[in-house]
Every structure is written in C-alpha cells, then in structure tokens.
Amino acid sequence: MMKNHYSHPKGFVGRQLVYKIYDSDGNLCGAIAGGSATKHLPGRNEFFKENFYLNGVINNIFFHLIPNGDKNLGTKVLKLFRKQVIIDWEERYKDKPIGFETLVELPRTGSVYKADNWILVGQTKGFTCKRVGGDGGETWGGKRIWDTKNLRPKLVFCRYI
C-alpha cells in the first residue's frame, strides 16, 4: 500500500501500530497506521495546551484507501481507528493517549479529517530531513541534511480523544 500512497513513504521511525482495512465483503481496501508524534509541529502544542506530552499524541502517519464506492469509508475508518489505536497504544507503549495529529501534504485539504472533526492547527514550512552516513557529531554516527529546495508544506490537523 505504501508504494501506491501519494507520499511514497519508505517506512516509519519510532512507535507504530499498523492496521489493514477490509470492506464488508472481506476484501482488503486499505491500511492505516498510528505512530510516534512529530517532535515539533506548528500549532500542535498550543492545541493540546497544558495536557500536552509528546508520547500521549498518536500521529496518523499513514492512511491509504482503495476506493470501493462507499463515499463515507474514510470517516468510518478514522472513527474505528481512533477507538482501537487508543486501546492498543496504551497496552503496548504504556502511555495514556490524549489525542491525535496528522500531516496532509498540499494541495490536499484534509477533507476526510475535517469530516471526522479534526482541527487544522498549523502548516509546516515543508523542509525534509535526510540522514546520511558521516560524522555529524551525533551518537548514532550520522548527519542530517536538510532539503530546502524541494519544499513540501503540510497541513497540521489535531483532534482530542
């Protein structure tokens, strides 16, 4: 599913819970994943206010659906995902979730998140960071290269549990 997603992710770093999505006939029609929250996101910390702690935010890091004729499938899946990932997150990682975040790459508008009552809280500048070998002075022995030419801004959506 990742090779068919618009962002073409090559995997995820950190915590992750991945779910396959099946339609009512038992056909695989997508995948959705919850993962570690992004360290710095515009508007996110202010949205969660005094309740904020990074390990309590679940990032919807991947969501891909194959159209099956159900125009409300995305909203239905998000609702089921939110209910299940809260249970699994607390059981697996021992952190109590407070809410969700996700990033939507422009020109997409996040309509499925809006329909599920997520709130647009900010927009990233679009920088991407690549890690390459070498002495970057970090304990893992690599260095970060920031791509400032191919900006890919993303909308930041959040939702309380």
Domains: count for the chain: 1
pLDDT tens-digit readout, 95-143: 999 999 999 999 999 999 999 999 999 999 876 655 556 555 555 455 5
Is residue 57 in some structural domain? yes
Domain residues for the domain of 9 are 2-126+153-160
pTM of the model: 0.82
What CA–CA distance (Å, rounded) separates 131 from 64? Answer: 26
DSSP assignment letter at 106: T
Q: Give, for 128, the enclosing helix (H) or strand (E).
A: strand 128-133
Residue 134 lies in a domain: no
Q: Dump pLDDT digits (tens) for 6-16.
A: 454 455 568 99
Q: Which is it for strands 119-123 and 28-35: parallel, antiparallel or unpaired?
A: unpaired
Q: What is the CATH number of the domain that holds 92?
A: 3.40.630.30
> Whole-angstrom Cα distance, residue 19 to residue 6?
18
